[in-house]
Amino acid sequence: MENFKKLADAVGFAPDKMKKNGLFETDRLFCDLYCFEPGQAQNPHTHEGSDKVYFVLEGHGRFQIGQEEKELGEKEIALAPSGQRHGVSNPGPGRLVLLVLMAPRPSH
């Protein structure tokens, strides 16, 4: 496993849906870059037993965690605790890049 990565090398977008680009994965954690074109979204969902952190690297996104919804920009961060319904959308006009960490890593 590589212990060091350059984030710029992991940025990649897909025209049809949000793209997850893996950075690190262990038995206890994953760390990805999520890349959204304008209009793309991660549908709200839950993870029982795992917490997820979203850190905005580039752009602006709309985050839903539980009953709360908030727009975040660069260098802002959000926590989706275990069991809380959460999702992200990119209302545009620019791209959205998130650093996402989740622990413990879901077993699916």
- State pLDDT tens for residues 79-98: 999 999 999 999 999 999 99
Instruction: Say how many CA atoms lie within 13 Å of 36 toward its Cβ.
Output: 27
> Is the pLDDT reported for residue 108 higher than 70?
no
Give dist(CA 13, CA 21) in Å, integer: 9
Domain 17-44+61-98 in this protein, CATH class? mainly beta
Would you say 78 and 27 are in contact if contact means Cβ atoms under 8 Å apart?
A: no
> Structural domain boundaries of the chain?
17-44+61-98
Q: How confident is the model at residue 2 (pLDDT cuts 50, 70, 90)?
A: confident
Asked if the model's pLDDT at residue 106 lies above 90, the reply is no
Q: Can you tell me the mean pLDDT for 17-27?
A: 95
Helix ranges restricted to H, 7-98: 7-10
Q: Is 10 exposed, middle or buried (0-12, 13-18, 19+ CB in 10 A)?
A: middle
